[in-house]
Amino acid sequence: MVAARGGPSAPAILLTMMDAAGKPVRVMTGPVQKGVQRVAWDLRAPAHQLPPNRPRSEGEEIFDGGPTGPYVVPGRYSVTLSQRVACVVTHLAGPVSFNVLVDPQGTQTLADDAARWRFQETLQNLRREVAGALELANNTSSRLDAIRRALDARPAAPRALHDQVRAYQKRLNAILVELRGDRALGSRSMPTPMAISERVNTTGYEMGRTLGRPTATHEQRYQIASELFAPQLTSLPQLVETDIPAPERELERAGAPYTPGRIPRAEQ
């Protein structure tokens, strides 16, 4: 038994699944209580994003299993058992080898599995990037809203600074429309183009429930999403890392209320 303690460094049991080449494909946590314990691997690779950091609702428990990764390809795998105590990982047992087999009643071939896995790897990378960009854009929207309120709290702030921040919000809104769709139009039941996130997540949802090759529609959706996402991946970092810090520095010099993402500077 591993003594349980709370906090981020709480002890943990780790099971590491590896492919035939010894490359880790999944790490799972197991129970730390003493006695005979069982852990089931769903034969999936890691999901492209973390589950929400909040309690799951009753509906989610029933209908939504949370983010999942693609099924691995059939082959030889192994698993090791380790413990993590006080941030130190200690090997306990293994590796123990096992086989992941093709369903003999299924119609897919090993070539189908290989083609599916290649597509899933590139799709998961794109889904991860889109999810990260969308979260960053949402957080930046809250950041700009706080900057606007801080400017309103400083009557002496120049009008040009107000206008600059609102121009940044307009640019960010355009990025959000591309990433998640036009919610204003959608709320009025008006037709809207398929958003980048919808393209990749719909494809991921469909591919996550099949062992077959990607269809021509899946490949086309992926290609369109990649092409639409490329300019957003350039515009968003420019806005977040270069443009927005400028008015934040002005706020700090003016002694405006603190806003999220702004680094406080000591008076010189």
Q: Domain-by-domain residue ranges, the chain?
A: 12-100, 110-254
Considering the chain, what percentage of its residues have pLDDT values greater than 90?
47
Query: What's the pLDDT tens digit per position in 202-256?
Result: 999 889 888 889 999 999 999 999 999 999 999 999 999 999 998 888 888 877 7
Show Cβ contacts of residue 15 under 8 Å, excluding neighbours closer than 6 positions.
Answer: 27, 28, 29, 30, 39, 41, 79, 80, 81, 82
pLDDT attached to residue 134:
94
pLDDT for 130 beyond 50: yes
Q: Return the higher-pLDDT residue of 82 and 55.
A: 82
**pLDDT (average), residues 154-167:** 85
Residue 28 has pLDDT above 50, yes or no: yes
pLDDT on residue 266 = 57
Segment 194-209, tens digit of pLDDT: 899 999 999 998 898 8
Q: What is the mean pLDDT of the chain?
A: 85
Mean pLDDT of 16-30: 92
**pLDDT score for 262:** 73
**Cα angle at 15 between 42 and 96, to 5 degrees?**
90
Indicate whether 268 pLDDT > 50. no
C-alpha radius of gyration, the chain, whole number: 24
Residue 55 main-chain phi, psi, to 5 deg: -60, 140
Q: What is the pTM of this model?
A: 0.82
Per-residue pLDDT of 41-76, as tens digits, reads: 989 999 888 877 666 666 655 555 677 888 999 999
Instruction: Say if residue 31's pLDDT is above 60.
Output: yes
Position 267 scores a pLDDT of 54
Residues 224, 87: Cα–Cα separation, whole Å: 43
Nearest to 132 by CA among 49, 194, 199: 49
Q: Residue 185: in which H helix or E strand, if any?
A: helix 183-187
Higher confidence at residue 171 or residue 108? Answer: 171
CA distances from 26 to 102, 133, 216, 268 (A): 20, 24, 29, 50
What average pLDDT score do residues 20-44 get? 89
Average pLDDT value for residue range 131-157: 89
**Residue 61, pLDDT score:** 53
